[in-house]
Structure 1
Amino acid sequence: MMCHVSVAMVTVATLAALMGCQAQEGGKCVDGNGQAGTCINIRSCQPQRELLQAVRENRAPPNGLRILRQSVCEIQSNGRLLVCCAQSTSTGTTTSASTGSGRDLLPKNCGRVDLTDRIIDGEDSPLLAWPWMALLRGTGRGQPASWFCGGVLINDRYVLTAAHCFNEHELEFVRLGEHTLSTVEDCQSGVCAPPPQDITAEQIIIHPQYKSSCRECNDIALLRLSTPVQLHPVHVLPICVPVDVVRDMGFSEADFQGKRAWAAGWGSTSRSPLRVTTPDTLQQVFLPIREDAVCPLLKRNYPDPRMVLCAGGDGKDTCRGDSGGPLQLSNRAETRRFVVGITSVGPEVCGRQNTQALYTNVHFYVQWILETLRP
């Protein structure tokens, strides 16, 4: 039997009607994300409790209701709903994720903006400007190893990037703390950075709904590093993730429109699609987030327009090789940087007037990010 349920009317009873029992309380089970867990009261499982609330408020990711349905493991005679709670996030464990569904794994010291001044419009970035930038190196289509995508550090074990980076490339390692590729020791104005860190990834976690509904949909991925990166007070730091935009940033997601955001990367600086010119030094560019006339056309295949942000349109742009890198906004107090977008889809010719690029909207996928992080 198939049925359609409005997310605005999701209740415990609705979930109970949609899902059969798969385990008894305290028993082993598998949740809607395919993770092993324990069947417990939903009130004791913060990830599932928060996801249920997000579904009710129509702010859950597209697969939120499916995850809930497939996580229900028992409906008791008193109406109490039991769900499969992943072991890494169950309140019965002693891990830091147990009280915050991954939020406790996001560092408080993130996204500092007091390190150095910035240079605008596609020039070399200062040495201390973007300490959370990551570079991905690997092979693809029988070609020699190269730097093929960017990413952004969100804690000492995870890098956020784009899912499409792995369509044609096999990852060898992730580099943190890089600035100028040709130099072993990067120095500016008498300040020298420690050597970059090359770390393999023990897990590449592609969003489970990547390419669902449209070819570019859900273009987001997490890399779990095989060992923690060695953080540095000024040269290697994580960026902030906007878990609660209003609380964390001081304004709503709707207020992104009209703001200018920083993008950074080592991608091509050539406007020609036939000639890739990669820079030696990390580049940065200041882009307007706005919905120009072309934006609705770019979003037309996405089932929810909030899945992506449109940025650019004034001749400045990200380009090939920048994929997976961050689009960054400051909070209202200008004290922290937040990753609000992940470079996803761009025009065939980079940086043309009246064209824009699409960036995966990180806030739209926060629930998935939090559920995926583990100690």
Structure 2
Amino acid sequence: MGKISDNLVSFGCGGSLINKYYVLTAAHCTSKPDDILFVRLGEWDTNTDPDCMNGVCAPKVQDIKVVDVIRHKFFSSDEHMKNDIALLRLEQPPILSRYVQPVCLPYGAAMSLDFTGNDTIVAGWGLTEEATTPTMLLAVQQKVYDNSRCSAVYAENQINVKYSDGQMCVGGIIGKDSCNGDSGGPLLWTGSFEPTISARVYLIGLVSLGPASCGVYEIPGAYSRITFIMNWILDNIRE
């Protein structure tokens, strides 16, 4: 997400393309909507454009102007971060390729799943263990836990977060965590909701909040649950 501050363009927060006109991200990444200029699609290594490997190159990145920012009207910007979700409307559709594709959203039987016990992937350019911003897109496997685990761990560590049904308890393994800069990025699950449909990658959560020290303690993070706000997404997208 490209933003402007003091006449300088910088990048912060992740997002997911969900159709030809909309990117889904965290509401707390949009506190100053007028500063959000564009989204960048097709990025991998921020030091190169195009990105190449073994002589094969992807198309150049696409910077597409954001013309509207739609935040959940019940987003709470306090420490609880409820309804931490926003839609970014693009001025024009991106050029789709094997490197730029909308991610699948859960549907049907998935709407009643909480994904507890499932392995997922979270990806982004957030801070690493050296407190530096990586140039290449990183990903880490994270497990989904019952929200009661997060409530208990946060209470033990005197962290004032009241979990809601709209949040997911994810991670908590030392050395593996999302961090500053990953907010709004995707929590991805690979599988199938129907026996006749092959496994696909689904967006089931968004990076929302976590401990101040990423991956240092066994403290999981809270992610926005896509199935909880699916109706809001459908109500706010248009052609």
TM range (shorter): 0.7 to 0.9
Aligned twin of 2:100: 236
Aligned twin of 1:173: 38
Aligned twin of 2:119: 260
Q: CA deviation at 1:139?
A: 2.9
Alignment equivalent of 2:168, drawn from 309, 332, 347:
309
Distance 1:314 1:211 in 2: 27
Q: CA deviation at 1:185?
A: 1.2
Contact kept? 1:344, 1:360, Cα under 8 Å: yes
1:290 and 2:154 equivalent? no
1:322 and 2:182 equivalent? yes
Q: Which amino acid aligns with 1:202?
A: V
Q: CA deviation at 1:143?
A: 7.7
Distance 1:226 1:373 in 2: 13
Aligned twin of 1:156: 20
Aligned twin of 1:220: 85
SS where residue 232 of structure 2 aligns? helix
Q: TM-score when scaled to structure 1? A: 0.57
Q: Which amino acid aligns with 2:178?
A: T
Distance 1:245 1:346 in 2: 29
Distance 1:282 1:200 in 2: 22
Aligned twin of 2:224: 360
Q: Which amino acid aligns with 1:281?
A: M
Distance 1:239 1:296 in 2: 30
Q: TM-score when scaled to structure 2? A: 0.87
Aligned twin of 1:369: 233
Q: CA deviation at 1:219?
A: 0.3
Distance 1:358 1:309 in 2: 5
* Aligned-pair Cα RMSD in Å: 2.2
Q: Which structure dedicates a bigger proportion of its chain to strand?
A: 2
In 2 relative to 1, CA 292–185 (structure 1 residues): closer, same or farther, beyond 3 Å?
A: same
Distance 1:263 1:339 in 2: 10
Distance 1:182 1:356 in 2: 31
Q: Output aligned runs, 1:67-106, within 5 Å.
A: none
Distance 2:125 2:50 in 1: 17
Contact kept? 1:341, 1:360, Cα under 8 Å: yes
In 2 relative to 1, CA 292–221 (structure 1 residues): closer, same or farther, beyond 3 Å?
A: closer
Aligned length: 227
Q: Which amino acid aligns with 2:2?
A: R
SS where residue 289 of structure 1 aligns? strand
Q: Which amino acid aligns with 1:309?
A: M
Distance 1:213 1:146 in 2: 25
Q: Which structure dedicates a bigger proportion of its chain to helix?
A: 1
Aligned twin of 2:157: none
Q: Output aligned runs, 1:1-20, within 5 Å.
A: none
Contact kept? 2:12, 2:181, Cα under 8 Å: yes
Distance 1:341 1:279 in 2: 22
